[in-house]
């Protein structure tokens, strides 16, 4: 019987000399079928929100299943890869490849799509994720990993400090849907210099503008705990969504490298359309360090 895995979940991140998990996870599958359905998973075909559960593609208007506030779609609704069974294609001591086939029309998304996720370890303490997708017809595609980090093993992320190389973020409505305005970061949302992040100070469910399009892998963010454990994030993606896990007691900080939310409905936003037969690879790396390893 082939090996399978639920949601392509990154359940645990461990380092020598650090006696706790650096990401929020559970040993119980039932948790991922319920309250933890987004924790650590790969979310696709389109992460985040699509306003009014509709988006243009070429000369068509696609309609999706509504699952957010009675009007919109969040994390692709019932078509989301976070609740699907992935096949384990390859595994060894330092890497694994997971794969999933998504059928034409599921949840309103076009195309028979093949998605593969490569997780690989490298020295000294690096984890790389490459998400690759291909479709037989044009479709929309914007995937991410939705892990929540807590570098201290504490009840919440109080005392963590954040540095982020972003000059702008996306203004959003009360439903966390971008308005289309790109605004300069200011005050509590300016992390050019390392700043403390505390539960609710500020409230975070923001997409930070990294670039106008996906690009080469580059350093974008460092998160540091009071313990001295730190996590640097490098990514190819145009945006970085930060979410403070407020609905689960601020236990961790979600760092989601992705394209911009609701991009097909916002003129000037980086496109997330995937052409027929085209392959797209999204790469994110997490580089960990701890006092004993520095």
**How far, in whole angstroms, is CA 268 from its chain's centroid?**
22
pTM beyond 0.85: yes
* Domain layout of the chain by residue ranges: 4-293
Side by side, the strands of the sheet bearing 113-122 are 4-6, 85-91, 95-102, 113-122, 126-135, 279-289, 230-235, 218-224, 160-164, 195-197
* Unique residue bearing structure tokens 């670039």: 211
Tokens encoding 229: 């454990």
d(CA 148, CA 240): 13
Q: Read off the pLDDT of each residue in 150-163 and give the average, rounded to a whole number.
A: 97
Selection from 181, 176, 183, 114 nearest residue 143 by Cα? 114
Q: Domain 4-293: which CATH class? A: mainly beta
Task: Give the DSSP letter string of 272-285.
Answer: -EE-TT-EEEEEEE
pLDDT of 100 higher than 80: yes
pLDDT of 19 higher than 60: yes
Selection from 236, 223, 229, 225 nearest residue 270 by Cα? 236
Tokens encoding 240: 């970085």
216-260 residue pLDDT tens: 999 999 999 999 999 999 999 999 999 999 999 999 999 999 999
């Amino acid at each position: 019987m082939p090996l399978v895995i639920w949601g392509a979940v990154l359940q645990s991140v461990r380092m020598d000399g650090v006696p706790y998990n650096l990401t929020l996870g559970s040993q119980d599958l039932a948790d991922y079928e319920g309250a933890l359905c987004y924790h650590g998973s790969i979310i696709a075909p389109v992460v985040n929100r699509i306003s009014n559960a509709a988006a243009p593609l070429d000369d068509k208007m696609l309609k999706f299943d509504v699952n957010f506030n009675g009007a919109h779609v969040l994390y692709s609704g019932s078509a989301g890869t976070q609740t699907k069974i992935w096949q384990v294609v390859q595994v060894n001591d330092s890497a694994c490849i997971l794969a999933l086939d998504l059928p034409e029309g599921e949840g309103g998304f076009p195309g028979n799509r093949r998605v593969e996720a490569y997780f690989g370890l490298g020295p000294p303490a690096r984890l790389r994720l490459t998400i690759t997708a291909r479709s037989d017809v044009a479709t929309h595609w914007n995937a991410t990993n939705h892990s929540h980090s807590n570098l201290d093993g504490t009840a919440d992320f109080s005392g963590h400090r954040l540095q982020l190389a972003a000059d702008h973020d996306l203004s959003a409505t009360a439903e966390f849907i971008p308005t289309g305005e790109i605004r300069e970061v200011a005050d509590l949302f300016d992390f050019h210099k390392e700043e403390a992040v505390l539960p609710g100070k500020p409230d975070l469910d923001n997409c930070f503008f990294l670039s106008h399009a996906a690009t080469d892998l580059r350093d974008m963010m460092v998160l540091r705990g009071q313990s001295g454990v730190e996590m640097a994030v490098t990514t190819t993606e145009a945006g970085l969504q930060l979410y403070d896990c407020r609905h689960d007691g601020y236990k961790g900080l979600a760092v989601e490298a992705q394209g911009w939310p609701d991009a097909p409905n916002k003129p000037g936003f980086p496109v997330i359309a995937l052409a027929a037969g085209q392959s797209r690879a999204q790469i994110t790396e997490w580089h960990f360090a701890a006092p004993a390893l520095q």
